[in-house]
Chains A and B, each alone.
Chain A
Amino acid sequence: MNTSRSKVLRTIRWVSWGLIAVLSTVLAVLWAQVRFSTEAEAKPYATPFQLTDQNGATVTERELLGKPSAWFYGFTHCPDVCPTALAEMAQVLKELGPEADKLRVVFVSVDPARDTPAILKDYVAYFDERIVALTGEERQLQQMTKARYIFYKKVGDGDSYEMDHTAGIQLVRADGRFFGTLDSHENADVKLQKVRRLIGE
């Protein structure tokens, strides 16, 4: 009687240990999948936002996914860095010819107090009418730029303040994954090659 009961107990113990082992393995595998998949396939550009484009239309992250894109963050009271970046992107679109359909170029103004959609419309059209210009509520902009590792900060007061801002252009895959950056110091050839690689993926 005693022996048979201890046999049962031993079986239960073995089975329990076995179950614990199996469960731990399953949990470890699940944890690793979640952990490493978020790292390898993070989609910062698929995180939600709601802004307004140069035509006054509401735009969310969804409208700007689906094809590769190039993003620049700046402001129109910027005399050299911003117009130079936009002129370079306009040149890239021109160089791409018909292939330019595969790329979306987006300019986000981080200075919504001064850059209204109407101002942005004329401003970007001067460089290339295909460029999408966005701006919106401060809260939305902060949330969006944080998710995309973009820095910006208002410097100074009154009417003549400046904006410090990330100078590089971010290249983004169609599904929102990060592809790379166009550095402001790179020459036009390198930039064009990177864009060609992005749209050729």
Chain B
Amino acid sequence: MRILITALLLLLPTSVLAHEFKAGSLLIDHPKIVETPPGAKVAAGYLTVVNSGEGEDRLLAIESTTISRVEMHASTITDGVARMKQLESGLPIPAGKSASLGDEGTHAMFMDLTRQLKAGEKIEAVLAFEKAGRVPVVFNVEKRSAQKVERHEHQ
């Protein structure tokens, strides 16, 4: 039975297997990195944090042992020009609400890559929260989401 379940789980696309991590009143949902083109030195990562607690928390930093530098950034397109800036004060997670790296152009930026990150890989990282402290998580590397690109195919 266990083998059957494992086999079934393996058949599911990774995006369906929403993986999550818990730390006190925080739930970290589905940290993922988008597969990189060969030669790219940066990768974008996304995640959602649900805060069921009474007080606000804040994601201050992301660290990884496999990728030397991780920053949190926001890309904006204003007046037709794409710009990027660091999230200087991290990502606030209001009490009773959720916040995502992925909203409004925000993303985790994995930098100084020495090789291509391919779908199926798992990248270990630690999320440093102001109150919840250090939380180990795993970012799943996934194929570029076709949502934006292939939306019309489902009509």
Binding site for B on A (CB under 8 A): 74, 76-81, 83-84, 87-88, 91, 114, 118-127, 151, 155, 160, 162, 164-168, 183-185, 187-189, 192
- Does residue B40 face the partner (Cβ distance < 8 Å to A)? yes
A79 and B43 within 8 A (CB): yes
- Does residue B97 face the partner (Cβ distance < 8 Å to A)? no
Beyond A79-B73, A123-B40, whether A168 also contacts B149 by CB under 8 A is: no
Question: Which of A84, A88, A165, A192 lies in contact with B81, CB distance below 8 A?
Answer: A165
1/0 contact trace for B54-80 toward A, CB 8 Å?
Answer: 000000000000000100010101001
Chain B residues whose C-beta falls within 8 Å of the C-beta of A155 in the assembled complex? 83
A119→B105 CA distance, assembly (Å): 26
29 sampled A-B residue pairs with Cβ under 8 A: A76-B39, A77-B42, A78-B42, A78-B84, A79-B44, A79-B73, A80-B105, A83-B144, A84-B148, A88-B148, A91-B149, A119-B39, A121-B39, A123-B39, A124-B37, A126-B38, A160-B69, A160-B111, A162-B84, A164-B81, A164-B84, A165-B81, A167-B80, A167-B82, A168-B80, A185-B77, A187-B148, A188-B148, A189-B151
Number of inter-chain CB pairs below 8 Å:
89
Q: Which of A74, A81, A165, A189 has the most CB of B within 10 A?
A: A81
Binding site for A on B (CB under 8 A): 34, 37-44, 69, 73, 75, 77, 80-84, 105, 107, 109, 111, 144, 148-152
B39 and A80 within 8 A (CB): no
Chain A residues whose C-beta falls within 8 Å of the C-beta of B81 in the assembled complex? 151, 164-167
B150 and A188 within 8 A (CB): yes
Nearest chain B residue, comparing its CB with the CB of A185: B77
Chain B residues whose C-beta falls within 8 Å of the C-beta of A120 in the assembled complex? 39
A78-B42, A79-B43, A184-B77 given; 8 more Cβ-contact pairs under 8 Å: A79-B107, A81-B75, A84-B144, A87-B144, A126-B37, A164-B84, A166-B80, A167-B80
**9 smallest beta-carbon distances between A and B, as pairs:** A126-B37, A79-B44, A167-B82, A122-B38, A122-B39, A119-B39, A91-B149, A81-B82, A123-B39
B101 to chain A, nearest CB (A): 11
B115 to chain A, nearest CB (A): 12
A132 to chain B, nearest CB (A): 16
Chain B residues whose C-beta falls within 8 Å of the C-beta of A74 in the assembled complex? 82
A124→B73 CA distance, assembly (Å): 24
B37 and A122 within 8 A (CB): yes
Chain A residues whose C-beta falls within 8 Å of the C-beta of B148 in the assembled complex? 84, 88, 187-188
Beyond A167-B77, A187-B152, A188-B151, whether A76 also contacts B41 by CB under 8 A is: yes
B40 to chain A, nearest CB (A): 6
Beyond A87-B149, A188-B151, whether A77 also contacts B82 by CB under 8 A is: no
B103 to chain A, nearest CB (A): 13
Chain A residues whose C-beta falls within 8 Å of the C-beta of B107 in the assembled complex? 79-80
B109 and A188 within 8 A (CB): no
A177 to chain B, nearest CB (A): 20
A91 to chain B, nearest CB (A): 4
B70 to chain A, nearest CB (A): 11
Nearest chain B residue, comparing its CB with the CB of A118: B39
A185→B150 CA distance, assembly (Å): 15
Beyond A78-B42, A126-B38, whether A164 also contacts B83 by CB under 8 A is: yes
